[in-house]
């Protein structure tokens, strides 16, 4: 995901397929220690959109934890805010996501897309 200023990619122009279902999502703004109220996002192997009313500056680093719905795989990673839609949410890019987490997310997205097409 490349930095974008005040814009987010149209669904048809995304480099990775996305999946809209996660469980146990938590978000912490690094250096602040408080948990941020969030709603279920959509996810790809490179990042996600997170629905939150909180504003974060571009470049802010967040700690992210979530569990994939189908596989029950837990992902813990850092992410960087790439864009913010005030009152709607933030687009984040994963930072140093382990290869096994990338594979788990990609597999989850593939399974979800097969289910939708069936």
Q: The tokens 């990609």 sit on which residue?
A: 106
Structural domains counted in the chain: 1
| 11 is a domain residue | no
| 17 is a domain residue | no
| 71 is a domain residue | yes
Side-chain half-sphere of 79: how many Cα atoms within 13 Å?
A: 28
| 90 is a domain residue | yes
Q: The tokens 């140093």 sit on which residue?
A: 96
SS3 113: helix
Q: What is the mean pLDDT of the chain?
A: 79
Is the CB of residue 65 less than 8 Å from the CB of residue 22? Answer: no
Task: List pLDDT tens digits, range 34-76.
Answer: 677 676 678 889 999 998 888 999 999 999 998 888 889 999 9
* Owning domain of residue 106: 22-117
Higher pLDDT, 118 or 60: 60
| 15 is a domain residue | no
Is the CB of residue 40 less than 8 Å from the CB of residue 78? Answer: no
Domain at 87, CATH number? 2.40.10.220
Chain-centroid distance of CA 103 in Å reads 15
pTM over 0.75: no
| 76 is a domain residue | yes
| 16 is a domain residue | no
| 12 is a domain residue | no
Task: List pLDDT tens digits, range 11-21.
Answer: 445 555 555 55
């Amino acid at each position: 995901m490349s930095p974008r200023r005040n814009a987010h990619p149209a669904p048809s122009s995304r480099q990775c397929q996305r999946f809209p279902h996660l469980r146990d999502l938590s978000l912490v703004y690094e250096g602040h220690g408080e948990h941020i109220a969030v709603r279920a996002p959509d996810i790809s192997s490179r990042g996600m959109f997170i629905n939150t009313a909180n504003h974060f500056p571009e470049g802010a680093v967040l700690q992210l934890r979530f569990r994939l719905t189908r596989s029950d795989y837990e992902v813990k990673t850092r992410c960087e805010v790439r864009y913010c839609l005030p009152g709607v949410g933030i687009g984040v890019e994963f930072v140093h996501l382990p290869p096994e987490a990338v594979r788990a997310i990609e597999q989850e997205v593939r399974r979800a897309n097969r289910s939708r097409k069936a």
